[in-house]
Chain A
Amino acid sequence: MLEISAAAALGLLLLSLTAAFLGGRGAGPIYALAILPCLVAGGAGLGVLGGAPVGALTLPLGLPWIGAHLRLDSLSAFFLVLIGLGGAAASLYAVGYGRHEEDPARVVPFYPGFLGAMMVVVLADDAFTFLVAWEVMSLLSWALVMAHHRAIEVRAAGYLYLVMAAMGTMALILAFGLLAGTSGDYSFAAIRAAHHSVAASVAIAALVLIGAGSKAGLAPFHLWLPRAHSVAPSHVSALMSGVMTKVAIYAFLRVTFGLIDPLPWWTSPALILIGAGTAVLGIVNANVASETKRILAYSTIENVGVIFTAIGLAQAFAADGLHMAAALALSAALFHAFNHMAFKSLLFMGAGAVLNATGRRDLDGLGGLIHRMPVTAFLMLVGVMAISALPPLNGFASEWMVFQSVLASPALTQLGLQIIVPAAAGLLALAAALAAAAFVRFYGLGFLGRPRSAAAGEAREVDRFMLAAMALLAALCALAGLMPALVLDRLAPVTQALVGGHLPQQLAQPWLTLVPVSAARGSYNPLLVFVFIALAASAAAWVVHRLGTRATRRGPAWDCGFPETSPLTQYGAGSFAQPLRQVLGGTLLAVREEVDMPPPGDARPARHRVIQHDLIWERAYLPVADAVQRVATSANRLQFLSIRRYLALVLASLVSLLVVLSLWG
Chain B
Amino acid sequence: MGMIEGFGIQGLQMLLVVALAPGLTGLVRRIKARLMRRRGASILQPYRDIARLMRKEVVLAENASWLFRAAPYLIFAATWVAAALVPTFATGLQFSWTADLIALVALLGSARFFLALAALDVGTGFGGLGASREMMFASMAEPAMLLTVFVIALVAGSTQLSTVVQAFSGPTVGLRVSLGMAAIALIIVAIAENGRIPVDNPSTHLELTMVHEAMVLEYSGRHLAMIELAAALKLLLYVSLIACLFAPWGIAREGDGPAALAFGALAYVGKLAVGGSALAAFEISVAKMRIFRVPSFLGFALMLGLLGTLLLFVSRTL
Minimum CB–CB distance for A446 against chain B, Å:
10
Contact between chains at A570 and B67 (CB < 8 Å): no
- Judge if B124 is at the interface, Cβ distance under 8 Å: yes
Name A562-577 residues within 8 Å CB distance of B. Answer: 563-564, 567, 569-571, 575-577
Contact between chains at A532 and B81 (CB < 8 Å): yes
* Given contact pairs A367-B123, A370-B65, A533-B74, A404 touches B159 in the complex (Cβ within 8 A): yes
- Hey, which chain B residues are within 8 Å of A440, CB to CB? 113, 116-117, 120, 131, 135
- Hey, which chain B residues are within 8 Å of A571, CB to CB? 120, 125, 127-129, 131-132
- Judge if A54 is at the interface, Cβ distance under 8 Å: no
Contact between chains at B157 and A521 (CB < 8 Å): yes
* Given contact pairs A437-B135, A520-B160, A576-B128, A540 touches B54 in the complex (Cβ within 8 A): no
Determine which of B57, B97, B133, B217 lies in contact with A551 in the assembled complex, contact meaning CB atoms within 8 Å.
Answer: B57
Contact between chains at A559 and B125 (CB < 8 Å): yes
Contact between chains at B103 and A540 (CB < 8 Å): no
Minimum CB–CB distance for B43 against chain A, Å:
22
Give A580 to B77 CA distance when docked, in angstroms. 29
**Beta-carbon contacts of B119-161 to A below 8 Å, as 1s and 0s?**
1111111111101110110111111001100100110011110
Contact between chains at A552 and B123 (CB < 8 Å): no
* Given contact pairs A558-B61, A579-B291, A410 touches B313 in the complex (Cβ within 8 A): yes
The residue in chain A whose Cβ has the minimal distance to the Cβ of B159 is A522
Minimum CB–CB distance for A329 against chain B, Å:
15
Contact between chains at B99 and A525 (CB < 8 Å): yes
Name B266-318 residues within 8 Å CB distance of A. Answer: 291-292, 295, 302, 305-306, 309-310, 312-314, 316
The residue in chain A whose Cβ has the minimal distance to the Cβ of B100 is A522
Contact between chains at B103 and A410 (CB < 8 Å): no
Contact between chains at A533 and B120 (CB < 8 Å): no
Minimum CB–CB distance for B266 against chain A, Å:
27
- Judge if A556 is at the interface, Cβ distance under 8 Å: yes
- Hey, which chain B residues are within 8 Å of A239, CB to CB? none
Contact between chains at A418 and B314 (CB < 8 Å): yes
Determine which of B54, B112, B135, B143 lies in contact with A548 in the assembled complex, contact meaning CB atoms within 8 Å.
Answer: B54
Give A45 to B28 CA distance when docked, in angstroms. 60
- Judge if A391 is at the interface, Cβ distance under 8 Å: yes
Give A381 to B67 CA distance when docked, in angstroms. 10
**Beta-carbon contacts of A367-400 to B below 8 Å, as 1s and 0s?**
1101100000000010001001111000010001
Contact between chains at B99 and A524 (CB < 8 Å): yes
- Hey, which chain A residues are within 8 Å of B59, CB to CB? 552-555, 558
The residue in chain A whose Cβ has the minimal distance to the Cβ of B136 is A579
- Judge if B95 is at the interface, Cβ distance under 8 Å: yes
Number of interface residues of B (CB under 8 A): 88
Contact between chains at B110 and A391 (CB < 8 Å): yes
* Given contact pairs A520-B163, A554-B62, A419 touches B110 in the complex (Cβ within 8 A): no
- Judge if B60 is at the interface, Cβ distance under 8 Å: yes
* Given contact pairs A555-B60, A557-B218, A429 touches B124 in the complex (Cβ within 8 A): no
**Beta-carbon contacts of A19-38 to B below 8 Å, as 1s and 0s?**
00000000000000000000
- Hey, which chain B residues are within 8 Å of A445, CB to CB? 120
- Judge if B237 is at the interface, Cβ distance under 8 Å: no
Contact between chains at B222 and A549 (CB < 8 Å): yes
- Hey, which chain A residues are within 8 Å of B103, CB to CB? 391, 396, 400, 524, 529
Minimum CB–CB distance for A316 against chain B, Å:
12
Contact between chains at B73 and A540 (CB < 8 Å): yes
The residue in chain B whose Cβ has the minimal distance to the Cβ of A581 is B136
- Judge if B102 is at the interface, Cβ distance under 8 Å: yes
Contact between chains at A560 and B310 (CB < 8 Å): no
- Judge if A450 is at the interface, Cβ distance under 8 Å: yes
The residue in chain A whose Cβ has the minimal distance to the Cβ of B311 is A422
The residue in chain A whose Cβ has the minimal distance to the Cβ of B230 is A540
Contact between chains at A553 and B57 (CB < 8 Å): yes
Contact between chains at B158 and A522 (CB < 8 Å): yes
Contact between chains at B113 and A554 (CB < 8 Å): no
- Judge if A407 is at the interface, Cβ distance under 8 Å: yes
* Given contact pairs A422-B309, A436-B113, A449 touches B207 in the complex (Cβ within 8 A): no
- Judge if B245 is at the interface, Cβ distance under 8 Å: no
Name B27-67 residues within 8 Å CB distance of A. Answer: 54-63, 65-67
Give A446 to B125 CA distance when docked, in angstroms. 15
Determine which of A409, A422, A444 lies in contact with B131 in the assembled complex, contact meaning CB atoms within 8 Å.
Answer: A444
Contact between chains at A553 and B58 (CB < 8 Å): yes
- Judge if B86 is at the interface, Cβ distance under 8 Å: no
The residue in chain B whose Cβ has the minimal distance to the Cβ of A381 is B67
Contact between chains at A560 and B222 (CB < 8 Å): no
- Hey, which chain A residues are within 8 Å of B95, CB to CB? 528, 532
Contact between chains at A443 and B158 (CB < 8 Å): no
Contact between chains at B132 and A449 (CB < 8 Å): no
Minimum CB–CB distance for B275 against chain A, Å:
24
Determine which of B62, B121, B150 lies in contact with A555 in the assembled complex, contact meaning CB atoms within 8 Å.
Answer: B62
**Beta-carbon contacts of B75-112 to A below 8 Å, as 1s and 0s?**
01110110010000000000101111011001101101
- Judge if A17 is at the interface, Cβ distance under 8 Å: no
- Judge if B236 is at the interface, Cβ distance under 8 Å: no
Contact between chains at B139 and A433 (CB < 8 Å): yes
* Given contact pairs A448-B123, A544-B225, A552-B60, A391 touches B99 in the complex (Cβ within 8 A): yes
* Given contact pairs A430-B143, A576-B132, A436 touches B60 in the complex (Cβ within 8 A): no
- Judge if B251 is at the interface, Cβ distance under 8 Å: no
* Given contact pairs A522-B160, A536-B81, A557-B61, A579 touches B113 in the complex (Cβ within 8 A): no
Give A537 to B230 CA distance when docked, in angstroms. 12
Contact between chains at B123 and A450 (CB < 8 Å): yes
Contact between chains at A537 and B74 (CB < 8 Å): yes
Interface centre among B81, B217, B220, by most A CB within 10 Å? B81
Contact between chains at A409 and B313 (CB < 8 Å): yes
Give A419 to B98 CA distance when docked, in angstroms. 31
- Judge if B226 is at the interface, Cβ distance under 8 Å: yes
- Hey, which chain A residues are within 8 Å of B218, CB to CB? 557-559
- Hey, which chain B residues are within 8 Å of A404, CB to CB? 102, 159
- Judge if A152 is at the interface, Cβ distance under 8 Å: no
- Hey, which chain A residues are within 8 Å of B57, CB to CB? 549, 551-553
Minimum CB–CB distance for A504 against chain B, Å:
15
Contact between chains at A513 and B97 (CB < 8 Å): yes
Give A418 to B160 CA distance when docked, in angstroms. 23
- Hey, which chain B residues are within 8 Å of A519, CB to CB? 97, 160
Determine which of B77, B121, B142 lies in contact with A533 in the assembled complex, contact meaning CB atoms within 8 Å.
Answer: B77
Contact between chains at A396 and B128 (CB < 8 Å): no
Contact between chains at B77 and A423 (CB < 8 Å): no
Give A523 to B99 CA distance when docked, in angstroms. 7
- Judge if A465 is at the interface, Cβ distance under 8 Å: no
- Judge if A346 is at the interface, Cβ distance under 8 Å: no
The residue in chain A whose Cβ has the minimal distance to the Cβ of B118 is A448
Contact between chains at A541 and B313 (CB < 8 Å): no
- Judge if A159 is at the interface, Cβ distance under 8 Å: no
Give A567 to B207 CA distance when docked, in angstroms. 20
Give A400 to B98 CA distance when docked, in angstroms. 13
Contact between chains at B306 and A426 (CB < 8 Å): yes
- Hey, which chain A residues are within 8 Å of B128, CB to CB? 444, 449, 570-571, 575-576
Determine which of B76, B107, B120, B309 lies in contact with A449 in the assembled complex, contact meaning CB atoms within 8 Å.
Answer: B120
Give A570 to B127 CA distance when docked, in angstroms. 8
- Hey, which chain A residues are within 8 Å of B295, CB to CB? 583
- Hey, which chain B residues are within 8 Å of A381, CB to CB? 67
- Judge if A432 is at the interface, Cβ distance under 8 Å: yes
Contact between chains at B146 and A403 (CB < 8 Å): yes
- Judge if A421 is at the interface, Cβ distance under 8 Å: yes
**Beta-carbon contacts of A411-439 to B below 8 Å, as 1s and 0s?**
00001001101110110011011101100
Query: Across chains A and B, which 5 residue pairs bring their CB atoms closest together, nearest first?
Result: A571-B128, A449-B123, A548-B54, A444-B120, A429-B143
User: Can you sample 19 A-B contacts with CB below 8 Å?
Assistant: A390-B110, A410-B154, A410-B316, A422-B313, A430-B143, A436-B109, A443-B117, A448-B117, A521-B160, A522-B102, A522-B160, A553-B59, A553-B60, A556-B62, A559-B124, A560-B217, A570-B125, A579-B136, A579-B292
**Sample of 17 further A-B pairs with CB below 8 A, known A536-B81, A555-B62:** A368-B63, A389-B109, A396-B103, A426-B302, A426-B309, A432-B143, A436-B112, A436-B138, A437-B135, A448-B67, A522-B160, A523-B160, A524-B102, A529-B81, A540-B80, A575-B132, A583-B136
